[in-house]
Amino acid sequence: MDNSLNSVTEQAAALAQSGTTSSELVEKALDQFRSSQHLNAFVALNEKAVRRQAEQSDERRKKGRGLSPVDGIPIAVKDNYWTLDHPTTACSGAVPKIPEGQDATIVRNLREAGAVIFGKTNMHEWAYGATNTGSSIGPTRHPLDPNHITGGSSGGSALAVADGVVGAALGSDTGGSVRIPSAACGIVGYKPSYGRASRYGVLPLSWSLDAPGLLTRDVKDLLLLAPYLLGADPQDPSTFSARRFDPESTARGKKVLALTGPYLERRADVEDVIQGARERLGRDFDWNTVQMETMEPYFAAWEAILHSEASSYHQHLLQEKPDGFGDVTIAHLVAGNQLSAVEYLHAQKIRQQFMGILTVLFEKADILALPTLPVTAPGQDEVWQEFDGRRVTTQDSMTWFCWMGNLAGLPSITVPAGLAENGFPVGLMMMAKPGEDEYLLQTALQVQTVLQQSVVSEFA
């Protein structure tokens, strides 16, 4: 595969220097889409609409009226964002009435900047699962080996980027759904702080945990796209106090705290990759390790909030279209319905206690670090994962570390750390204080530079 012009940064530079056109980028993306359709990254792709956007972008640039650095760049969108030129189904047979001809706020931001909205990506039904095996159009398949999963729920978005169809894709993240498939597929995935990016027009799963997010090949791409993601939106009250992205912000602190302890175990080959990354980063960052008490009650709080809020949102839809949901989704929704209001509030109290623990940790460190996943991309049929004395479902192994960022609203990112012995990618996850997205992205850029990893290029 031609790896040239695969990152958004490279595409933007080529467009600015008239080294390519949006139409050329779109045709290349369509060719790659067709050659990898068996991996099942897309649920909808309106080629006519995509080509029309590219032609309009080329016309603007010819006249010297480019709208922004990303004018003409194809960007794929997870199927739970409203899009005016593609249907929105959340890859479920049970879908509420979606407003026609309307974009989610972030999609609108990108479209107004001239980006080409390049189709809708496959996802785990309603983002309610982290394997991407539960989708109305079937599972996504890993670009290294189709017998392995991509992880999810933004599995199609990760696949579209890792496989070189597009340089960036939108995803959503309630317990890791951007970071999980990004790590499994060897790319970069970023979940902003809760309340800094609008969720308007993104079908909810759990509104106090949900965040939109971006998947790219390079941290530089995130810095280019962050202005269209972050900022206040009158249509999402959680963003009322959100600051715009500040490109002048620079990284400062260098203290990293690696978390270990019960419910933070990981497979030995994954830990080997992380230790190797830590050694390479040792000269630039001050690394320490902290042994945590068990994460079990905090994970339970995250899960209680997730199922309670999802059950509340889906209650009417489950009554109206019970046959549209997958079996596992129905089981989750019924479980959520059986949790009491008292249990939900206990979970919110434990959430507050967890945030108190993080406050103490952030007095000692600027970044909290973990592997993004405790394992590498599992096989499509693997139900269980075993590591370091734990035996958990593949679903739970995917969210094993990532839920923390959602429970506390932290900005969080995964960057490729290397390949495990089996040849599959391992991601390094970093989390910063709430609101410190610029610092996290700048730090991630430094980490990426040091690691000099381009896992994608090793197999794409």
Interaction site with other proteins (CB under 8 A): 193-195, 207-208, 237-238, 241, 294, 296-301, 303-304, 307, 311, 315, 318-319, 322, 327-328, 330-335, 337-339, 343, 345-353, 355, 407-410, 434-435
Minimum distance between the CB of residue 432 and other proteins, rounded to whole angstroms? 12
Alpha-carbon span 79 to 172, nearest angstrom = 10
> Among 427, 358, 82, which Cα is nearest to 193's?
358
Q: Which residues on adjacent β-strands are paired with residue 189?
A: 215, 414
304 — phi, psi (to 5°)? Answer: -65, -45
Torsion (CA) 441, 442, 443, 448 in degrees, nearest 10: 80
Cβ proximity of 413 and 441 under 8 Å: yes
Report in angstroms how near the CB of residue 295 gets to other proteins at its nearest: 9
Instruction: Give whichever of 16 and 334 is closer to other proteins, judged by the CB atom.
Output: 334
153 is catalytic: yes
DSSP β-bridge partners for residue 287: 256
**Residue 457, preceding peptide bond in cis (omega within 30° of 0):** no
Residue among 260, 237, 186, 73 nearest 460 (CA):
186
- Helix axis angle for 268-281 and 437-451, nearest 10°, is 90
Give the nearest distance from C-beta 107 to other proteins in angstroms. Answer: 23
- The conformation of residue 135, written as its DSSP 8-state character, comes to -
- Which lies closer to other proteins via its Cβ, residue 143 or residue 336? 336
Structure tokens at 396: 């739970």
Complex with other proteins: residue 258 or 318, whichever CB lies closer: 318
What are the strands of the beta sheet with 116-121, ordered from one edge?
Answer: 42-44, 116-121, 74-78, 168-173, 211-216, 188-191, 412-419, 425-431, 367-371, 255-260, 286-291
Catalytic residue among 7, 22, 57, 78: 78
Give the residue among 138, 147, 186, 148 at the shortest CA–CA distance from 164.
Answer: 186
Q: Is 177 among the residues known to form the active site?
A: yes
In the complex, minimum distance from the CB of residue 174 to other proteins, in angstroms, rounded to a whole number: 13
Given the DSSP bridges, would you call strands 367-371 and 74-78 parallel, antiparallel or unpaired? unpaired
Would residue 132 be called left, alpha or beta, if left means φ above 0 and alpha means ψ between -120 and 50 degrees? left
Name the minimum Å distance from CB 176 to other proteins.
17
Task: Choose between 246 and 279: whose C-beta lies nearer to other proteins.
Answer: 246
Q: Which is nearer to other proteins, 189 or 409 (CB)?
A: 409
Number of H helices, E strands in the chain: 15, 13
**E strand or H helix at 286, and its extent?**
strand 286-291
Task: Please identify, using beta-carbon distances, which residue of 35 and 338 lies nearer to other proteins.
Answer: 338
What's the min distance (Å) between Cβ of 193 and other proteins? 6
CB of 298 to other proteins, least distance (A): 8
Question: In the complex with other proteins, which residue's Cβ is closer, 240 or 288?
Answer: 240
Distance CA 198, CA 61 (A): 29
Q: Is 364 a catalytic residue?
A: no
Rounded to the nearest whole angstrom, what is the least distance from the CB of residue 439 to other proteins in the complex?
Answer: 15
Q: Which one of the listed residues 177, 308, 311, 412 is annotated catalytic? A: 177
Q: How far is CA 454 from CA 176, 180, 458, in A?
A: 22, 17, 7
Q: Where are the beta strands (DSSP E) in 292-439?
A: 367-371, 384-387, 390-393, 412-419, 425-431
Q: Find where tokens 């206040």 sit.
A: 232
User: 119 vs 434, which CB is nearer to other proteins?
Assistant: 434
Query: Which of 7, 57, 92, 153 is an active site residue?
Result: 153
Would you please indicate which residues are annotated as catalytic (active-site) residues?
78, 153, 177
